[in-house]
């Protein structure tokens, strides 16, 4: 029986009765750009995360850019982020005009290694953008402690961490501001592109609201040069419906992750990333590690099982960032992980039978 990597159709079937009228409402009201559906979602998501303001934007990448720009971080400034992330963590920094500085990650969690921060600081460093990779919150306390000593800002790239918790607080509420992506495949995914910025600061929130809409508070009065990075009304409506299900979906993901861990423990040389005791991950991805990654990937694909690699090339070795001068050996852990990691099917609607099927195929391989 084939098992897809992700099954968005199955999720839609389970919420069709709520989604269709919500989309219909937006179409009938013609509030396509921002509007009441987006405002409603912003309030709901801010309350869910425990943060004062949520500003809906067009993507997770623009969320990073606007968050940094609102804090006046730009040309001549450096922002530290993790080498093993989706390229957008760095791109968001670049689009703000600043320079990304990539640090290596911990082998145990795949998240930023706080011990490497000191060596990455320069007089140009303005902020640290922490990525909660695969939906497992990074260990924020040591990072914030180091940053405070230097009066640096700490932001979260929570693009993969909707609903995840660190010491009882939601990801996105752990530092000086955060960005989310609602790309369709995320735990909280739109039916198109969307993102959000979260902040407790009233004036930063106001600036981001202006930046996302051509620098204006009032139509056709432009106070600053901004962008068109508004969230669509339809996405706001879809996200409000889905937010009601997020906790239940994350619970199911955690259950599937538990099963994978149980069934695959001790199989071949497979091993897993740690979930820190103070964290509750949302299992955006379930990632295993093996020296035989490429052969296992081929075997699973032949068996009809969808898999992925997140990510095959660390950011410092991407051609797009050749100008930063990164070279092999700069981030040895991220480089090693990129050759060993494999993401297995993971979504709330996975059935027990499908999880068994995946585990059986992995066991067959070894
Ligand atoms: C860690 C991380 N940061 C940023 C982004 C960018 O989000 P978007 O694709 O919505 O621009 C993503 C999306 O995949 C991501 O995974």
pLDDT tens column, 226-242: 999 999 999 999 999 99
Give the residue whose CA is nearest to atom 14 of ligand 1. Answer: 86
Nearest CA to ligand 1 atom 8: 60
Q: Measure 214 CA to ligand 1 centroid, in angstroms.
A: 23
- For 305, phi then psi, to 5°, come to -105, 125
Beta bridge partners of 178: 156, 198
Query: Would you say residue 1 has pLDDT above 90?
Result: no
**How far is the C-alpha of 36 from the C-alpha of 130, rounded, in Å?**
31
Task: Tell me what the mean pLDDT of segment 110-137 comes to.
Answer: 98
Pocket test of ligand 1: the residue of 81, 181, 309 to mutate, having most ligand atoms within 8 Å of its CB, is 181
Q: Which pLDDT belongs to residue 306?
A: 98
Closest C-alpha among 107, 150, 105, 165 to residue 130 = 105
Helix (H, G, I), strand (E, B) or coil at 256: helix
Paired tokens of 30? 């013609």
Tokens at residue 84, please?
A: 């093993």
Residue 306, exposed/middle/buried by CB under 10 A (0-12, 13-18, 19+)? middle
Task: Determine the pLDDT at residue 157.
Answer: 98
| Mean pLDDT within 24-32 | 98
* Proportion of the chain above pLDDT 70, given as a percent: 100
Nearest ligand 1 atom, CA 160: 16
Cβ neighbours, 10 Å, residue 21:
12
Residue 131 forms beta bridges with which residues? 157
Give residue 352's pLDDT: 97
Instruction: Find the mean pLDDT for residues 287-293.
Output: 98
Q: What pLDDT score was predicted for residue 357?
A: 98
pLDDT at 335: 98
Residue 44's alpha-carbon distances to 47, 50, 62, 116, 216, in angstroms, are: 5, 10, 21, 37, 24
Q: In this model, does residue 311 exceed pLDDT 90?
A: yes
Q: How far apart are CA 198 and CA 159, in angstroms?
A: 12
Average pLDDT over residues 179-197: 98
Inform me whether the pLDDT recorded for 249 exceeds 90. yes
Please, which pLDDT band fits residue 6 given cuts at 50, 70 and 90? very high
Phi-psi bin for 172: left (phi > 0), alpha (psi -120 to 50), beta? left
Question: What 8-state DSSP symbol labels residue 356?
Answer: H
**Residue 363 reports pLDDT greater than 90:** yes
| 17 burial via Cβ count (<10 Å: 0-12, 13-18, 19+) | exposed
DSSP letter for each residue of 45-109: HHHHHT-SEEEEES-HHHHHHHHHHHTT--TT-EEEEESSS-THHHHHHHHTT-EEEEE-B-TTT
CA 81 / ligand 1 centre spacing (Å): 13
Q: What is the mean pLDDT of residues 222-226?
A: 97
Tell me how far apart the alpha carbons of residues 109 and 217 are, in angstroms, rounded to a whole number: 42
Pocket test for ligand 1, best of 61, 156, 193 (most atoms within 8 A of CB): 61
Question: Which phi and psi angles does 306 have, rounded to 5°?
Answer: -75, 130
**pTM (2 decimals)?**
0.98
Say how far apart CA 188 and CA 201 lie, in whole Å. Answer: 24
Q: Measure the CA–CA gap between 355 and 218, rounded to whole angstroms.
A: 52
Look at residue 315 and tell me whether its pLDDT is greater than 90.
Answer: yes
pLDDT tier at 212 (50, 70, 90 boundaries)?
very high
Query: What's the whole-number mean pLDDT along residues 129-142?
Result: 98
Answer whether 345's CB lies under 8 Å from 8's CB: no
Atom of ligand 1 nearest to the CA of 182: 10
Residue 183 CA: nearest ligand 1 atom is 10
In terms of C-beta density within 10 A (0-12 exposed, 13-18 middle, 19 or more buried), how is residue 148 classed? exposed
- Average pLDDT of the chain is 98
Ligand 1 is surrounded, with C-beta below 6 A, by: 59-61, 85-86, 88-89, 131, 157, 159-160, 181, 183, 195
pLDDT tens-digit map of 156-179: 999 999 999 999 999 999 999 999
**Rounded CA gap, 24 and 28, in Å?**
6
Inter-residue contact 243 to 339 (CB < 8 Å)? no
């Amino acid at each position: 029986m084939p098992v897809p990597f992700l099954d968005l159709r199955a999720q839609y079937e389970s919420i069709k009765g709520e989604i269709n009228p919500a989309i219909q409402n937006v179409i009938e009201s013609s509030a396509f750009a921002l509007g009441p559906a987006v405002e409603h979602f912003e309030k709901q998501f801010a309350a869910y995360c425990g943060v004062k303001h949520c500003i809906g934007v067009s993507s997770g990448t623009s969320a990073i850019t606007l968050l940094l720009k609102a804090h006046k971080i730009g040309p001549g400034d450096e922002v530290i982020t993790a080498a093993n992330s989706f390229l957008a963590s760095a791109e968001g920094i670049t689009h703000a005009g600043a320079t990304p500085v990539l640090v290596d990650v911990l082998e145990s969690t795949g998240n930023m290694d706080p011990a490497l921060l000191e060596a990455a600081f320069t007089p140009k460093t303005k902020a640290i953008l922490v990525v909660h990779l695969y939906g497992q919150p990074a260990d924020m306390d040591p990072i914030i402690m180091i940053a405070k000593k230097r009066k640096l800002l700490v932001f979260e790239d929570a693009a993969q961490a909707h609903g995840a918790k660190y010491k009882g607080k939601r990801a996105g509420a752990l530092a000086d501001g955060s960005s989310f992506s609602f790309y369709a495949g995320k735990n909280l995914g739109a039916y198109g592109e969307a993102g959000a910025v979260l902040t407790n600061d009233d004036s930063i929130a106001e600036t981001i609201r202006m930046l996302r809409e051509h620098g204006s508070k009032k139509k056709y009065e432009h106070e600053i040069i901004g962008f068109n990075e508004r969230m669509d009304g339809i996405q706001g409506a879809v996200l409000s419906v889905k937010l009601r299900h997020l906790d239940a979906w994350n619970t199911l993901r955690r259950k599937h992750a538990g099963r994978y861990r149980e069934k695959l423990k001790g199989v071949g040389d497979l091993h897993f990333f740690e979930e820190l005791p103070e964290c509750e991950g949302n299992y955006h991805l379930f990632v295993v590690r093996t020296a035989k990654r490429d052969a296992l990937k081929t075997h699973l694909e032949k068996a009809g099982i969808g898999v992925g690699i997140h990510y095959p090339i660390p950011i410092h070795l991407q051609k797009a960032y050749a100008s930063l001068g990164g070279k092999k050996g700069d981030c040895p852990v991220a480089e090693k992980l990129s050759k060993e990691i494999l993401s297995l099917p993971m979504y709330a609607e996975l059935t027990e039978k499908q999880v068994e099927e995946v585990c059986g195929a992995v066991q067959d391989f070894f």
